[in-house]
């Protein structure tokens, strides 16, 4: 047996201890005690924090439903923000584990019941939001075609959309893909001249619109995959088309052939909507008629572009979108008219609960109007909220509450979860939240409380409240409008003070009365009044939009900024008492970040054809130089809005500092204390490779809408067809040498065709 090793003993060995080992053990003991003390302090601090949160939740007296709706929407937004299925799965797993952990840690602990309930509910609802949008994407998403093509197709007309202001109609067709062995949905633009030709060729007394739902047509079309954003922050049509099930869009080439006419009485509600729109436009001439048709049927296709721009810049676009204002006006009119008429019949008034009968009539009117105007997301949301209001009125409950808004939001998000990333949903619910939060607050209730005063004073307070409401709505919508459209009307609150009462109490009731009188042929004088009122509305819009500084442009804000705005706004709207003022902190931080958002120096479109460069105009402002003098309003507007420039772009070839040939433009700009040299291809003409390589070596940035040879090696960036095919459009900030690209916002979602990071 091996002897035990001999351990040297120092002084004190006779006492059974050694100096080295004892010191080490004492040091370890002290370290353990210090660590235990530190962990104890951390646990105590965490416990105190949780206790404070528990007391805050217990005393806040808030409604849980709106917060759960916000968390559900947050789960949907997280799915769009995260990039891969692994990220989505991990996020849902973490949320589930958080809920299970809260149940396990605080089981039977009554001291933190609110914290436990909040953590469990929010985790489960967040995971449910991600699951709903993921399932929706898998069920309705349509794989886009791989490349542009010209193809002969035969399809069944699913939907027809009239756009007389653009001299065309849009047909959505279901076609058979022989190679894939499945059906695809495509959308084709058809000129009105071709529509008139085929109507004349196939006109019958029974069916005037032969190109409508149910027809089978054969045509030759130029098809394109749904377009991804042109620039970072631009509209993502590819994403919208994915959830609409569209595999391609395009335009007609040549003539369209009718294989089979639509069956009699085809089209359903869509046909009624078109017929009503045409009827209104025949009664009211010009621009007022197109606005009246939009109010009556939801058909905005005939509104002139100049009128739409004026309404947008005046902050009145929400009046054209059939939403809360219009649905509420229709339902309120039906409710009160029914209530007053039934009250005139004593036999009914004594035997029937009139609020219930009036609510039923209002519900039928609201649902019918929603279906007639196309059942868009804002209209469905408004109709759902109005149904809850009618139920509350019938039961004698408070009709104006955040819970009502939350139920309507969850209803819409369960049906169309993808709508949460669109401006329509965000603006609609933000406006309603702002109105409800404002009018349920104690100061406003006290301000509007009945009191003994003159009629002038009473109406003065109501007009003042109307202006304040418009101002609050404008403030609530401003971040959303700037995030999606990069422009906002500055004087919208003032314009809405006059426009909203005009539309609500004059124009829409007159339209309803005129339609009713048309059944007996007496609507003519009322239609004249409708035209006069809508002339006044357009006058307000054009006057407001023509004022100096009426439009404010901002570059694309980042997601952190808009998230802070959303958090601050929700906190202000959903909490009660002084605690809601804490929402001003993230809102103030976001405002500072928005003001500090830099304007991109160079904007490069997704194909390299459209390039914009911001330069000083010498008067303290900015001008935009464009590579091509394009006729595309879409490309021009995107470049101007993201560059925050209101004046028309200047071709680079006309700029004094540029040197342009037939193939390339060469120019130099000063940024970040140094010169930047840009070499921009004007066309696809071939250039001798050695000369091109030499030019690339002297340039910092080279942009081309074709593949450039590997010998072209600029000093900083080569944005050719190869790179842009992976990255999408680019926004360059030369001051800090950063590149924002479309691909960084896409991930591996089905609608993105580039290479995700």
Question: What are the tens digits of pLDDT across the range 425-477?
Answer: 888 788 888 888 888 888 888 888 888 888 888 888 888 887 888 788 888 88
| Nearest CA among 687, 683, 740 for reference residue 717 | 740
Does pLDDT of 11 surpass 50? no
Number of domains composing the chain: 4
Q: Looking at residue 603, what is its pLDDT?
A: 94
222 and 105 in one domain?
Answer: no
Residue 322 belongs to some domain of the structure: no
217 and 92 in one domain?
Answer: no
Q: Looking at residue 230, what is its pLDDT?
A: 92
C-alpha to C-alpha distances, 363 to 334, 384, 390, 395, 401, nearest whole angstrom? 9, 10, 7, 15, 19
Q: pLDDT, tens digit, for every residue of 670-718?
A: 988 889 999 999 888 778 888 899 999 999 999 998 899 999 999 999 9
215 and 173 in one domain?
Answer: yes
More confidently predicted of 376 and 84: 84
233 and 130 in one domain?
Answer: no
Residue 284 belongs to some domain of the structure: no
72 and 205 in one domain?
Answer: no
For the chain, the average pLDDT equals 82
Q: How confident is the model at residue 742 (pLDDT cuts 50, 70, 90)?
A: very high
Q: pLDDT, tens digit, for every residue of 233-274?
A: 899 999 999 999 999 999 999 999 998 888 876 556 777 778
Q: Which helix (H) or strand (E) holds 177?
A: strand 168-177
Domain region containing 712: 602-745
Q: Are 403 and 364 in contact (CB under 8 A)?
A: no
pTM of the model: 0.83
| CATH code for the domain of 224 | 2.40.50
Does pLDDT of 305 surpass 80? yes
Residue 380 belongs to some domain of the structure: no
Does pLDDT of 34 surpass 60? no
664 and 616 in one domain?
Answer: yes
Where is the domain boundary, 107, 140, 173?
140
Q: Looking at residue 240, what is its pLDDT?
A: 92
Q: How confident is the model at residue 616 (pLDDT cuts 50, 70, 90)?
A: confident
Residue 309 belongs to some domain of the structure: no
Where is the domain boundary, 118, 140, 162?
140
Q: Looking at residue 29, what is its pLDDT?
A: 55
Q: Looking at residue 3, what is its pLDDT?
A: 41
CA dihedral 322, 323, 329, 335 (to 10 degrees): 110
Does pLDDT of 14 surpass 60? no
Range scoring the smallest mean pLDDT among 106-110, 538-542, 618-622: 106-110
Give the DSSP letter of residue 618.
Answer: S
Q: What is the mean pLDDT of residues 492-519?
A: 85
Q: How confident is the model at residue 221 (pLDDT cuts 50, 70, 90)?
A: very high
Q: Looking at residue 387, what is its pLDDT?
A: 77
105 and 216 in one domain?
Answer: no
200 and 121 in one domain?
Answer: no
Q: Are 604 and 628 in contact (CB under 8 A)?
A: no
Q: How confident is the model at residue 553 (pLDDT cuts 50, 70, 90)?
A: confident
219 and 236 in one domain?
Answer: yes
Residue 670 belongs to some domain of the structure: yes
The alpha-carbon radius of gyration of the chain (Å, integer) is 32
Does pLDDT of 581 surpass 50? yes
Q: Looking at residue 246, what is its pLDDT?
A: 92
Where is the domain boundary, 571, 595, 619?
595
Residue 294 belongs to some domain of the structure: no
213 and 153 in one domain?
Answer: yes
Q: What is the mean pLDDT of residues 470-492?
A: 84
* Main-chain phi, psi angles of 621, to 5 degrees: -110, -170
691 and 563 in one domain?
Answer: no
189 and 95 in one domain?
Answer: no
Give 327-377 as a DSSP string: HHHHHHHHHHHHHHHHHT-HHHHHHS-HHHHHHHHHHHHHHHHHHHTT--H
Residue 662 belongs to some domain of the structure: yes
């Amino acid at each position: 047996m091996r002897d035990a090793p001999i351990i040297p003993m120092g002084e004190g060995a006779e006492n059974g201890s050694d100096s080295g080992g004892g010191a080490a053990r004492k040091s370890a003991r002290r370290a353990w005690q210090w660590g235990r003390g530190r962990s104890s302090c951390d646990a105590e601090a965490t416990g105190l924090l949780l206790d404070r949160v528990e007391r805050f939740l217990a005393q806040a007296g808030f409604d849980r439903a709106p917060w759960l709706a916000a968390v559900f929407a947050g789960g949907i937004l997280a799915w769009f923000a995260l990039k891969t299925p692994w990220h989505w799965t991990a996020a849902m797993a973490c949320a589930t584990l958080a809920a299970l952990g809260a149940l396990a840690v605080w089981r039977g602990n009554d001291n933190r019941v609110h914290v436990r309930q909040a953590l469990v509910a929010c985790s489960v609802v967040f995971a449910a939001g991600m699951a709903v949008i993921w399932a929706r994407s898998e069920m309705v998403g349509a794989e886009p075609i791989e490349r542009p093509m010209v193809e002969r197709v035969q399809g069944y007309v699913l939907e027809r959309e009239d756009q007389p202001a653009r001299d065309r109609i849009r047909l959505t067709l279901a076609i058979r893909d022989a190679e894939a062995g499945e059906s695809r949905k495509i959308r084709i633009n058809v000129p009105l001249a071709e529509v008139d030709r085929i109507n004349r060729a196939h006109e019958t007394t029974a069916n005037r619109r032969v190109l409508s739902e149910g027809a089978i047509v054969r045509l030759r079309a130029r098809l394109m995959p749904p377009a991804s954003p042109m620039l970072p922050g631009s509209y993502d049509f590819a994403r919208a088309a994915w959830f609409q099930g569209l595999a391609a869009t395009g335009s007609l080439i040549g003539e369209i052939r009718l294989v089979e006419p639509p069956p009699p009485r085809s089209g359903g509600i869509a046909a009624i909507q078109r017929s009503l729109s045409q009827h209104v436009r025949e009664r009211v001439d010009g621009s007022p008629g197109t606005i009246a048709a939009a109010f009556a049927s939801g058909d905005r296709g005939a509104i002139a572009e100049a009128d739409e721009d004026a309404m947008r810049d005046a902050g009145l676009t929400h009046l054209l979108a059939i939403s809360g204002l219009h649905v509420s006006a229709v339902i309120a009119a039906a409710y009160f008219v029914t209530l007053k008429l039934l009250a005139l019949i004593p036999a009914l008034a004594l035997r029937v609960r009139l609020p219930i009968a009036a609510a039923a009539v209002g519900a039928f009117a609201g649902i019918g109007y929603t279906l007639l105007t196309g059942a868009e997301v804002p209209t469905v949301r408004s109709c759902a909220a109005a149904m809850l209001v009618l139920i509350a009125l019938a039961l004698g409950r408070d009709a104006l509450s955040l819970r009502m808004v939350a139920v309507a939001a969850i209803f819409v998000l369960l049906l169309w979860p993808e709508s949460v990333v669109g401006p329509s949903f965000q603006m609609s619910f933000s406006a309603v939240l702002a109105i409800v939060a404002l009018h349920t607050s104690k100061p406003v209730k006290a301000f509007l409380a009945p009191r003994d005063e003159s009629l002038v004073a009473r109406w003065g307070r109501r007009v003042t409240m109307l202006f304040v409401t418009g101002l609050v709505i404008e403030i609530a919508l401003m971040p959303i409008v700037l995030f999606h459209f990069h422009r906002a009307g500055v004087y919208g609150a003032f314009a809405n003070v006059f426009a909203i009462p005009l539309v609500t109490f004059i124009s829409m009731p007159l339209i309803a009365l005129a339609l009713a009188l048309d059944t007996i042929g007496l609507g003519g004088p009322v239609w004249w009044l409708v035209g006069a009122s809508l002339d006044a509305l357009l006058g307000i819009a054009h006057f407001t939009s023509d004022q100096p500084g009426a439009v404010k442009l901002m570059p694309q804000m980042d997601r952190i900024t808009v998230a802070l705005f959303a958090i601050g706004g929700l906190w202000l709207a959903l909490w009660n008492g002084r605690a809601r003022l804490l929402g001003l902190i993230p809102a103030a931080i976001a405002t500072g970040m928005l003001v500090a958002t830099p304007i991109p120096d160079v904007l490069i479109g997704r194909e390299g054809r459209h390039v914009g460069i911001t330069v000083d105009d010498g008067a303290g402002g900015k001008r935009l130089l464009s590579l091509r003098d394009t006729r595309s309003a879409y490309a021009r507007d995107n470049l101007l809005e993201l560059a925050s420039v209101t004046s028309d772009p200047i071709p680079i070839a006309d700029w004094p500092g540029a040197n342009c040939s037939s193939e390339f433009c060469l120019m130099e700009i000063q940024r970040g204390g140094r010169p930047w040299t840009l070499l921009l291809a004007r066309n696809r003409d071939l250039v001798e490779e050695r000369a091109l390589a030499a030019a690339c070596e002297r340039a910092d940035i080279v942009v081309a809408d074709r593949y450039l040879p590997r010998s072209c090696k600029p000093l900083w960036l080569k944005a050719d067809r190869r790179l842009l095919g992976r990255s999408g459009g680019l926004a360059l900030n030369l001051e800090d040498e950063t590149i924002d690209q479309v691909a960084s916002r896409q991930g591996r979602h089905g609608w993105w065709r580039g290479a995700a990071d």
